[in-house]
Amino acid sequence: MSQTVKSHVTRRQFCRAAAAISSVGAVSGGLLALAETQPTVINTTGPDSLRSHAAPHGLLFGGAVNPALLDVDGAANGTTTDPYTLLFAAQANILVAENSMKWGALRPAPDKFDFTQGDRLIRFAGLNGQRVRGHNLCWHESNPAWLKATANKDNARQLLTEHIQTVAGHFRGKLHSWDVVNEAINPPDGLPDGLRKTMWLDLIGPDYLELAFRTAAAADPQAKLTYNDYDIEQDTPKQIAKRDAVMALLRRFKAKGVPIHAVGVQSHLDATAPPAGKGLQEFIREAAKMGLEVFVTEMDVNTHAVVGGAEAQDAAVAVVFRDYLRLVLAEPNVPIVLTWGLDDAHSWLSQAHGNQSRRPDGTRERPLPFDDDLKPTPAFLALREAIDTAHRSAGGNSKL
Ligand code: G3I
């Protein structure tokens, strides 16, 4: 699909943001030096896109998308001028549906599966040479009301199995990977192994996790099966406890021969929280020893507590993108980075059901590499620069 939209950030805009980063003491000259070497207008498409920078490193880069907003027909006949559609075509070589493949979206009624949006996404990705992740097959949220009303200890096992067989079966051979189980660990619930108190745990027991993975493997043997969770990035006591419980789960899976290929580190980060560090690095290396890949599945950087306007927020977000991705992309078993949306306007943090009100000044969050107008923010360059420094050789991962 041809790229007809030229989106760009000016060197002046970026220098101002980089200078703001310096003023909060968080930059060692890197971003400022980068800014100074940029041309007056910084192109973001074609060879300058995130996907083009990722490819030589054997990396996949992408974002969460709402398939209903994509102009798939226009993309198919090369006539689309829709900025959201062009942005995803230009920047991503992997896509994930933000909501369309969850139970709540796929299962309007017990006997009805609605694959309309998932199929649209697969078609769009095919047009653009992009891979697709499935999100997700088993979660405690976004389940249809009828499920909660009808599931019980007698039928829950069958309900989960049939859902995974049908959904993973429908997309069989078309997906790069599936988030098979999402967010099953929550140590504060006080249950054995740090398991989260969920409907599935209540009705099936701890066995539900293994059941989900084994069923998914049978339904789609080609998809990389992933366990996906959040708040396991930082070295705070709470996140260390959760990360340890996730690692213990992965070890139990491996010991029992449960088919699992990757762990998703969601990476919903906070611009004012301490940076991720050694604990996450060790977690990624432990996963590597177990033969597991680590996917950055849902990265964004909230600016709830950043004092100042757009420039201060952009500076803080850019630093987190740069430092976090430099840390994780140094590890050879991290082949994928996805952000949770590509632009601020469509971020869950900007939606009515998100945490929009958490900024004391009432202004919107700026958590992603493109802003409300789909213009690149300094995070775009920070992200691209981190991708460029990834220690991976071209074509290094034959499974990509
Ligand atoms: O589609 C309905 C719409 O008809 C209705 O008018 C509107 C009213 O609020 O709600 C719409 O549904 C919302 C849906 O997003 C689509 O916008 C749901 O209420 C809302 O709960 C849902 O939120 C999603 C959330 O997961 C729960 O599924 C967010 O968009 C999505 O970003 C968020 O994503 C999660 C990942 O799946 C897992 N990791 C954390 C991440 C962020 O919370």
Question: In one letter, which amino acid is 132?
Answer: V
Residue 5 domain-assigned (yes or no): no
What pLDDT is stored for residue 2 in this prediction? Answer: 40
CA 231 vs CA 18, 241, 264, 269, 378: distances in Å: 28, 10, 11, 8, 25
Strand pairing category for 8-10 and 41-43: antiparallel
**Residues in the ligand 1 pocket, defined by CB under 6 Å:** 98-99, 102, 141-142, 182, 230, 266, 298, 348, 351-353
Tell whether 51 is covered by a domain.
yes
**Which of 142, 265, 350 maximizes ligand 1 atoms within 8 Å of its Cβ, making it the mutation to test the pocket?**
142
292 within a domain of the structure (yes/no): yes
- In the annotation, is 233 catalytic? no
Q: What is the pTM of this model?
A: 0.92
Residue 286: active-site member? no
Atom of ligand 1 nearest to the CA of 135: 37
Domain residues for the domain of 141 are: 11-388
Residue 139, C-beta contacts closer than 8 angstroms, at least 6 positions apart: 102, 103, 181, 182, 183
Question: What is the 3-state secondary structure of 113-179?
Answer: CCCHHHHHHHHHHHHCCCEEEEEEEECCCCCCHHHHHHCCCCCHHHHHHHHHHHHHHHCCCCCCEEE
Question: In the chain, which stretches have pLDDT less than 70?
Answer: 1-40, 352-357, 391-400
Structural domain contains residue 184: yes
**Distance in Å, CA 113 to ligand 1 centroid:** 19
Give 231-245 pLDDT, tens digit per residue: 999 999 999 999 999
**Distance (Å) from CA 268 to ligand 1 centroid:** 15
Query: Residue 267 gets which letter from DSSP?
Result: -
Burial class (CB in 10 A: 0-12, 13-18, 19+), 1: middle
User: Which residues have a Cβ under 8 Å from the Cβ of 234 and sit 6 or more positions away?
Assistant: 273, 274, 275, 276, 277, 279, 280
pLDDT at residue 351, as a whole number: 79
**Mutation probe of ligand 1 site: the residue of 106, 353, 368 with most atoms within 8 A of C-beta:** 353
Number of structural domains in the chain: 1
Q: Which residue has the tokens 């909230």?
A: 302
Q: Catalytic: which of 233, 293, 298, 385?
A: 298
- Whether residue 395 is contained in a domain is answered as no
Domain of 126, CATH number, reads 3.20.20.80
Q: Residue 217 and residue 209: Cα distance in Å, rounded?
A: 13
Q: What are the E-state strand segments in the chain?
A: 8-10, 41-43, 60-65, 94-97, 131-138, 177-182, 224-229, 262-265, 268-270, 293-302, 336-339
In a domain, 6, yes or no: no
Ligand 1 centroid vs 353 CA: distance in angstroms? Answer: 7
The reply to whether 228 falls in a domain is yes
